[in-house]
Amino acid sequence: MDAKLSTGDTLSAEDQELVDGLLAGKRRPLAKTITLIESTLLAHQQRARKVVASILPHTGRAIRVGISGVPGAGKSTFIEVLGIWLIEHGHKLAILAVDPSSSLSGGSILGDKTRMEMLCQHEEAFIRPSPSAGSLGGVAAKTREAMLACEAAGYDVILVETVGVGQSETTVAGMVDMFTLLQLPNQGDELQAIKKGIVEIADLVAINKVDLNPHHAAVCIAQWKQALHMLRPTSPNWTVPVVGLSALNRIGVDEFWGAIEKFHETMTKTGELEQKRRNQALAWMWSMIEGGLKQFFRNDPRVEAELPKVAQQVSQGQITPGAASEKLLDYVRQKS
Amino acid sequence: MSNEKLPDSSNLDQWKQAALKSAPKTSTDPAKWLEGVKWVTPEGLEVKPLYTKKDLENLEFSDTLPGFPPYVRGPQATMYSVRPWTIRQYAGFSTAEASNAFYRKVLSTGGQGVSVAFDLATHRGYDSDNPRVVGDVGKAGVAIDSVEDMKILFNEIPLGKISVSMTMNGAVLPILAGYIIAAEEQGVEQKDLNGTIQNDILKEFMVRNTYIYPPSPSMRIVGDIFRYTAKNMPRFNSISISGYHISEAGASQALELAFTLADGIEYVKTGIASGMDVDDFAGRLSFFWATGINFYLEIAKMRAARLLWHRIMTNFGAKKEKSKMLRTHTQTSGWSLTEQDPYNNVIRTTIEALSAVFGGTQSLHTNSFDEAIALPSDTSSRIARNTQVIIQEETHICSVVDPWAGSYLMETLTQQMADKAWSIIEEVQTMGGMVKAIESGWAKMQVESCAAETQALIDSGKKVIVGVNKYRLPKEDLVDILEVDNNAVRISQVARLDKIRATRDSKAVQEALDALTAVAEDPSKGNLLDMTIKAVRLRATVGEVSDALEKVFGRYRATNQTISGVYGAIVETQESWKAIQADIKKFEEAHGRRPRLMVAKLGQDGHDRGSKVVATALADLGFDIDVGPMFQTPEEAARLAIENDVHAIGCSSLAAGHKTLVPQLVEALKKQGSDDIIVVVGGVIPPQDYDAVFAAGAKAVFGPGTRIEDAAKKVLEEINKAFPAK
C-alpha cells in the first residue's frame, strides 16, 4: 500500500494509543481495533477510518489466503492442522471468518473457537469470528479492514474462512491473494453440480479426507484436474493445482502450503500480485462508495419516514417500483 | 343388590356425559373442551384422562409373566418379593481415605454395594500433578492416581463379596486395572470379582464429555474390555449402557430410551466384531436409567426398555435367555432437584425412587436433597439412603411383582413408549447407527433442542417447579453443606505420586508402558486391558497409562454445534422478553454492536447442558455469544475473551470449581490488562459461597433455577455499568 496515503486528520490520544499497541503486536489493542472497525456507529466508523489509514503503511506484507468449502469438507479441522503447521514453521497467523448469515432476532452464536481448540491455545494464533452484520457488502468491507489490522500487528499469514455458502466466496476471493477450495473426494462424480462460478475463481483445489478411500480419491483428483483444465485459468502463469489431503492425519499440509508459497512467488515475480491488490483496492473503493450511498440514502429523515409507506404501496401495486424509487431518491437529490 | 348391569368400558358415552358436567361454565363448546383434557408428553405422546379395558384390546404384551420373554414385567420371576433391589449409593469424597470411610459406614447401615465416583482429573486421564487440572483434583469424586490410592479406597472392603460399581468411561483401562490389582493384593481372584464398570463411551461424546480418545479407538477399548472380562471375570458387568446422562442433559424419556438402546446395539456389534459369539458377552451388558419426576412415563420407559432389548437381542440371534434380558441400575434425577426450598427435593427423590421401583430396577441410587447446591453431606446422604430402606422395609411395596401390570394406562403407555422409541431407533439405523448419529452432531442437537424447550417452558411458567417458578419462598434458609478443600487434596495426592515414582522400578514401568503403546499401535499384539494390568501392577499411574495410549490414539476434541430458535420461539411473545430485546437494541445503538458474551467451561467438568441452554437462549434474545471450547484453563479463557473483545465472560461451574477457577480467571484477565471484561458465574454454587465468588471479582452469580431472562437482564445491567455509553 501507498505509505504517503493520508486522511488529513490526526488521531485522538486514545486512538493513537490503540494504534501504538497494535503496531507493537499486542492482542488487546488489535481486538479493540477490530471492534471499532466492525462497529455500526457513525462516530466509530470515522475513528476506524483514521485508524486504518494510520496503520496502512504497515500492511501488505502477509500472505492472504481465502479458504472455502462445502459444510462437512473438514474445513475447521484443516485450518487447525494447517495453522499449527504454520506456527511450527515460524509463522504468526490470524484467522478471520466471513459469515453472511443473519439471524432474525439479531444475536449470533460464534463457535469458531470450539472448532479450533488446539490452535487457539497458541500465542502465535489470533482467531476472530465476527458476528454477522446483515449485508454481505458490509461484512466484506469490515473483514478487509480487520485483515489489514492483523497484518499491521505482525501476523504474516491471514486466513479468511468463508462460513456461508454461495455469494460469500466471490467476496472473499476479492480480498485475498489466493483463493482455495476444499472439497470431499466423493464429489468427483458430481463436479457438474458444483457452482461453476466458484470453481472458476479457485487458485488451488484441495481434496480432503483422501485416506477414506485412496483409490476413489485418486480418481477424484484426476477428474478435478481434467475439469479445471477446461476452464480459463485464474492467471496465464498458473496452473491450478489439485492437492490431496487428510487433515485429520496431517497428510498433505506441506504440499498445500508449498503450492501457496509457489503461487505467491510466481505472482510477485510477474507483478500480478501487485496488480491484483491494486484492483482489489479499486473494487473496495467502489463497494464502499455503494455502501456509503446506500447508508446516506437510508439515513435521510424523509426517506426513513416515507419508506415503509412507499414500500407497502409498491407491494400492493398502487405505484410502480420505478415511480417509488424516483420519489425516494428525489429526497436525497434535493439535499445535495 | 339388583342384577342391573353397571356402566363399563362399553358405555364410554355415559362417562363422557358425566365428564361434560365438569366443563367450565364459560366453555362454549364443552365437547371440544373435553377433547382438550389430555396431557401431551415431551415426546408427543397423548395421555388421556381415562383408560379402560378397551385400551388393552389391541396390546400384544399386556398379559405376560415376570421372568419370561419379553420381560416387560421384569427379568426375574419373583423380583422384589424374594430379594429387593440393591441399594447402591454413588459417592466419592475427594480422597481415597474419606471415601473408604464413607463406604464402610454405608455398608454397615443398610447399603448393599459400593459405587465409586471419581474426580474430574481421573475421568480425563490426568494425574493430580498435571498443571491442567489444578482446579479439578478432588472435585465431584475421589482422586485416584495409582493402585496405591485404589488399595486405600477398598481397604477392608472384601472385593470378592461386595459388588463394586465404578463410573468410569474415559480412563476406563487404568481404573479397571487398578481395581483388579487392588483385589489381587487383597488375595481375591479375578474370577470372583463382582460389579460393574460404566465403560459407556458413546454417551460421553453425546452428552457427558468425559472422553479422552476419539470414537474409534475408544470403541476398540470397549471391545478389548469385553473380551478380557468375558474370559477372566465372568461375574463382572463389562458395561453399563447409560441413558442417565442423556436424560439429565435434557432428553425426553423416549429419546433417552431410544439413544441408549441404539448405543447398546453399537456395543453388541463391537463385541461381535472383536470375534466373540453374542452369547459370550451379552449377558454381562447392563443398563443405567434416570428416573425423573414424570412418574408414569418413567415406569413405562423402564418396562418398554426390557421389551425392546428383547426384540433387539433376538434380532442379533442371541440364543441364551440371559442375553436378551435387560438388567438395569437406576438413579433419581439430579437435574430435577432445586436449589430453592431444597427440602422439597426429598419428596421429589422419593417419587422418583418409586417409579424406579415400579419400573423394576435391579439397583438404585437416590440423590441427596442438597445436590443442587453442593456435594452431599453426611445428613443428606443418610436421608437419601433411608428413602430406599423405608420403601423396602416399611411399605410392603416389595411384596408384589410388577404391581402396575394390567393397569389400562400403564400397559398402553408402555406400548406407546416402546413404539415411539423404536421409531427413533429406526431413524438412527437409517443414518448408519449411533456412532454416525453422534459423529454428525445430530444426536446431541436432538437432546439440546429438548433441553432448550424445557428451559423455555419453565422460564415462561408453563411447566411448574415448586419453589422455583411457583410458590417461591420469600426468604431461603441456608442448608449446611460439605466443603471440599481442593488444594489440600491435590497436595496430598502429589506427595503420594512423588513417593510412588521414587520407590517403584521405573525402568520396568517404562517397558510395560511401551508395550502398551505397541499394542495400541497393533491390535494383533495383545489386549489393551491385559497390558494395562501389567503396567499398573508395576505402579504405572493413571496419567502415564493414558499418555501411553494417547501417543497412538490422540486426544479427542469435540466439534460443538449450538441450536438456535427453540428457546426464543416459546418465550418471544412475553412482554418481559420484548423489554430485554428493546434494551439490547438500545445498547446496540449506543455502542455500535450487540452485547457480546463468551460462555466458558473451565476445568475438566464436562456437563454442558446449562452452558449450552444459556448460549442458545441469550443468542435468541439478541446477544452475540462466543462459545468457548470445553476443558479450558482460566488463562486460555481470558485470552479468547480478549481476542474476541467480549463485554463479559459467563463462567459455568457444576463441580465445585467456582472457588478456584473464578479467582484465577479474574486474575488472568487482570494480568493481560483486561479486567474491564466482567465475569458472571452460573451453575451449582451454594449460597454460602456467593460472597467468596463476588469477592473474587464476579459481578453476578446465578444458581440453579435462575430464569434465563432474569440472568440476561442482570448481565446486561452489569455490562451497561462496566461499559457506559459515551
Share of chain A residues as helix, strand and coil, in percent rounded to the nearest 5: 55, 15, 30
pLDDT for res A247 = 84
Of A111, A127, A131, the CB nearest to B643: A127
Write the pLDDT tens digit of every residue in B506-536: 999 999 999 999 999 999 999 999 999 999 9
For CA atoms B249, B254, B257, B263, the dihedral sign is negative
Write the pLDDT tens digit of every residue in B649-698: 999 877 667 888 899 999 999 998 898 999 999 988 888 889 999 999 99
Which residues touch A218 (CB under 8 Å, ≥6 apart)?
A244
pLDDT (average), residues B12-18: 94
Which residues touch A185 (CB under 8 Å, ≥6 apart)?
A207, A208, A209, A210, A212, A213, A216, A217, A220, A221
Minimum mean pLDDT range among A182-196, B89-103, B113-127: A182-196
pLDDT for res A1 = 42
Quick one: pLDDT band at residue A2, thresholds 50, 70, 90?
A: very low
pLDDT (average), residues B1-10: 81
Minimum mean pLDDT range among A107-116, A198-207, A325-334: A107-116
CB atoms within 10 A of CB B567: 30
B674 CB within 8 Å of a chain A CB? yes
Strand-pair category, A178-183 with A63-69: parallel
Strand-pair category, B39-40 with B596-601: unpaired
CB atoms within 10 A of CB B424: 20
Which of A171-175, A232-236, B230-234, B560-564 has the highest average model confidence (pLDDT)? B230-234
Q: In what order do the strands lie in the sheet with A108-110?
A: A108-110, B624-627, B596-601, B648-653, B678-683, B700-702
pLDDT for res A3 = 42
A103 CB within 8 Å of a chain B CB? yes
B645–A32: do the CB atoms touch at under 8 Å?
Answer: yes
**Smallest Cα distance from B639 to chain A, Å:** 9
A81 CB within 8 Å of a chain B CB? no
**Smallest Cα distance from B591 to chain A, Å:** 7
B352 CB within 8 Å of a chain A CB? no
Indicate the pTM of the whole model.
0.83
Which of B643, B670, B677, B709 best tests the A interface by mutation, with the highest count of A CBs <10 A? B643
Contact of B683 with B658, CB cutoff 8 Å: yes
State percent of chain B over pLDDT 70: 99
pLDDT for res A191 = 53
Residue B558 phi, psi dihedral angles, 5° rounding: -80, 145
Quick one: pLDDT band at residue A4, thresholds 50, 70, 90?
A: very low
B629–A113: do the CB atoms touch at under 8 Å?
Answer: yes
For CA atoms B202, A70, A89, A142, the dihedral sign is negative
Return the residue matching grid coordinates 489381587: B184
A152 forms bridges with which residues in the sheet?
none
Distance between first and last Cα of chain B: 88
Does the pLDDT of residue B568 top 80, yes or no?
Answer: yes
Of B592, B623, B645, the CB nearest to A34: B645
Residue in B203, B245, B612, B647 annotated catalytic: B245
pLDDT (average), residues A238-265: 91
Tell me which chain B residue has its CA closest to the CA of residue A121. Answer: B636
CB burial string A141-165: b at 16+ within 10 A, e below: bbbbbbbbbbbbbbbebbbbbbbbe
Helix (H) or strand (E) holding B652: strand B648-653
B672 CB within 8 Å of a chain A CB? yes
B629–A114: do the CB atoms touch at under 8 Å?
Answer: yes
B621–A35: do the CB atoms touch at under 8 Å?
Answer: no
Which DSSP state fits B402? S
B593 CB within 8 Å of a chain A CB? yes
Q: What does the radius of gyration of chain B's CA atoms come to, in whole angstroms?
A: 26
pLDDT for res A186 = 67
Which of B571, B581, B627 best tests the A interface by mutation, with the highest count of A CBs <10 A? B627
Residue in B55, B71, B80, B90 annotated catalytic: B90
pLDDT (average), residues B429-443: 90
Of B564, B588, B643, the CB nearest to A109: B564
Longest pairwise C-alpha distance within chain B: 93
Which DSSP state fits A212? S
DSSP per-residue codes, B71-97: -TT-SSSSGGGTSPPEE--EE--SSHH
Active site residue B329: no
Longest pairwise C-alpha distance within chain A: 68
Alpha carbon of residue A178 to chain centroid:
11
pLDDT (average), residues B155-183: 95
Quick one: pLDDT band at residue A106, thresholds 50, 70, 90?
A: low
pLDDT (average), residues B158-170: 93
A246 CB within 8 Å of a chain B CB? no
Contact of B302 with B290, CB cutoff 8 Å: no
Quick one: pLDDT band at residue B180, thresholds 50, 70, 90?
A: very high
Write the pLDDT tens digit of every residue in B134-145: 888 988 889 999
Nearest C-alpha neighbor of B701 from the set B658, B639, B668: B658
CB burial string A299-330: b at 16+ within 10 A, e below: ebeebeebbeebeebbeeeeeeeeebeeebee
Which residues touch A220 (CB under 8 Å, ≥6 apart)?
A185, A186, A187, A188, A207
pLDDT for res A163 = 64
A131–B644: do the CB atoms touch at under 8 Å?
Answer: no
Write the pLDDT tens digit of every residue in A188-197: 455 544 556 6
Minimum mean pLDDT range among A174-188, B410-424, B712-726: A174-188
Write the pLDDT tens digit of every residue in B532-567: 999 999 999 999 999 999 999 988 877 667 777 788
DSSP per-residue codes, B106-142: HHHTT--SEEEEBPHHHHTT--TT-GGGTTTTTSSSB
pLDDT for res A133 = 55
Tell me which chain B residue has its CA closest to the CA of residue A72. Answer: B440
B642–A28: do the CB atoms touch at under 8 Å?
Answer: yes
Task: Note the ipTM here.
Answer: 0.84
**Smallest Cα distance from B497 to chain A, Å:** 28
pLDDT for res B223 = 95
Residue in B605, B608, B620, B689 annotated catalytic: B605
